[in-house]
Amino acid sequence: MASPVRLAANAKGMVCLYRKPATDGPTPAWYLATYATADEDWHEAGPVVGTEGLASLWLTAAGEAFVVAVAEGDRPAVARLEEVARRLEPFTPVAAEGTAGRPSEPYSWVSVAVMGGLAFLVMLLVLRGGRTQAAVLGRAETQAGHPAAPIWRRALAVGVDYLLVLGGAGAIVSAVAPSVNEAMQQVVDQILAGQRVVMDWRPMLLLQAVRLGVILVYFTLAEGLRGRTVGKALLGIEVRSLEGTRAAFWQAAVRNVLRPIDELPMLYLLGLALIVSGPRPQRLGDRAARTLVVRTVDERAG
């Protein structure tokens, strides 16, 4: 065979990477072959996506995974080989000797400064929100006189609900796309090792899409059918229309379709700014749906 061959084996089996004879044009992709124990023979699986243009690479086994390494400047870079999908995950540069525990890029102090500034802004908004709600208490209620829920109750309720949402989204992603968990773990490992974060945007996009879908379904069903989510029920608050009646299903849908916008840019900053700056403590979704989060109403009263 007129091409280099790379062979590796682990407890699962053996794989081989090789290039077919080059033709005119760019360097072709490497091909994958796997060894089948059923007939004790090798079978070509096809070209591997992500190996186009690589003149040389090395293949090795790491536990139950196969890893490809290439030379990148003065340091190698490694990527996990997905045999079934026949593709390489994004290459991650190997940290230089003596840099463990230190960021490879000067981004850490910027991240700390940005997060600290955002946290300070959130604290100011919450404090201002408390004074604003106290000042407009007579107006911050439904037409039936139901008082608006305090911001701190709403924040705690959202925290409880998002823990449930993330758990559900994580379970769904783990079931349909296990590679997303591996990509997330890779990012965490890079951050803990102080390395430059290199990630594939596709698993993150899938996780975000599933998260938004779970949020829409969970919040809409809970608020449309019962007027409250698990978090709201624990904190003694619920969603009502401005007229004081239980929120209709369409109102629950509208307020939650706009929830991702209220989350922007992060930590519900836009929603919080709208809550503390308006005549009523309503985020964008509440304003569009004409709803208000109030203390739980006892329907038996009166």
Same domain, yes or no, for 114 and 10? no
Last residue in a domain, options 93, 121, 139: 93
**Domain stops at, among 58, 93, 128:** 93
Q: List Cβ neighbours of 136 (8 Å cut-off, separation of 6 or more).
A: 279, 280
User: Domain count of the chain?
Assistant: 2
Asked if 25 and 163 sit in the same domain, the reply is no
| Domain identity same for 118 and 200 | yes
Q: What is the pTM of this model?
A: 0.58
CA 153 to chain centre: 25
The answer on 181 and 239 residing in a single domain is: yes
Helices (H), the chain: 108-135, 151-176, 178-192, 201-225, 230-235, 249-257, 259-263, 269-277, 284-289
Same domain, 59 and 152: no
What local confidence, expressed as pLDDT, does residue 29 receive?
84
Does residue 113 share a domain with residue 55? no
State which residues form the domain around 255: 108-295
Are 125 and 270 members of one domain? yes
What pLDDT score was predicted for residue 41? 86
- In sequence order, the 6+-apart residues with CB closer than 8 A to the CB of 79 are 50, 67, 68, 69, 70, 88, 89, 90, 91, 92
pLDDT for residue 197: 67
What is the three-state SS of 36-64? Answer: ECCCCEEEEEEECECCCCCCCCEEEEECC
In a shared domain, residues 24 and 72: yes
Within this chain, do residues 205 and 79 fall inside the same structural domain, yes or no? no
pLDDT by 10-residue block (mean), the chain, 302 residues: 77 86 71 85 88 85 86 78 87 64 45 59 57 47 82 94 92 81 74 70 83 95 96 96 94 97 89 87 95 84 49
182-203 confidence digits (pLDDT tens): 777 777 777 777 766 666 777 7
